[in-house]
Amino acid sequence: MTTDSPVAPLRVAVLGADGRMGRTTCDAVDAAPGLELVARIVRGDDVAQALADSGADVAVDFTRPDITEDNVRAALDAGVHVVVGTTGWTAERQGRVREHLARRAAEGLDLGVIVAPNFGLSAVLAMTFATKAARYFESVEVIELHHPDKLDAPSGTATHTARAVAAARSAAGVAPSPDATESGFEARGADVGGVRVHAVRLRGLVAHEEILLGNVGEQLVIRQDSFDRVSFMPGVVLAVREVVRRPGLTVGLEHVLDLD
């Protein structure tokens, strides 16, 4: 008589474990079947040493935009897959991570990195719906609303949305949104690929986004609201489980959910 050997849990380290998202992530990993929290890494810790000591398979980064790229490099050097929720990832930073992953692959180690501007399922769906709708409307703008402790503006979610919308409109041959503004451009928000993005910072908010699309005589508003950080945790847990099966860099949870 033979019995199946038990499957070892994925060993997870959380970077930024003392922050709001980090603490919530630690609780979610602790509660998730098949995952084991092996390290809570906080500011001042030696990331490379902590990962090596923990024997982690996956690192989840919820730190700061100014240090997250270095954390990813340290994790890859330690042979650890990475899930990143910290925003501030430019195309240049993504390119450097791809190069680092390619070097590790050439050394025989296929590692995965998932960078998700937002782990909320409603947010990912809102972005997806907006991208599909964008080609059918003359005008489009994005409003993102967050708590005032957020460090970056516009948010990674809004930037990711605007870039996807702009790419869809360009591919469909849609002209830029009409705008006769001649003065006061500072009130028109950031220009992300030709899509205006407006950032609100207000006490009492968590994370919210509106995509406004308009034609003559009609308007479509797609709105997403995250009222509690626990709403991001199903997406985080999904990314942790999937990253070990996805070599290379994946940007956006929509690809993990097969929504692209």
Which positions are annotated as active-site residues? 146, 150
Start-to-end Cα distance in the chain = 45
Q: How many helices (H) and strands (E) does the chain have?
A: 8, 11
Dihedral pair phi/psi, residue 8, rounded to 5°: -65, 140
Contacts of 146 (CB under 8 A, 6+ apart): 155, 199, 200, 201, 202, 205, 206, 207, 208
Is-contact 228 28, C-beta < 8 A?
A: no
CA atoms within 13 A on the CB side of 162: 24
Is-contact 87 152, C-beta < 8 A?
A: yes
Stretch (H or E) spanning 207: strand 207-215
CA dihedral for 59, 244, 114, 108, sign (positive or negative): positive
Angle at the Cα of 150 from the Cα atoms of 16 and 221, rounded to 5 degrees: 120
Is-contact 215 227, C-beta < 8 A?
A: no
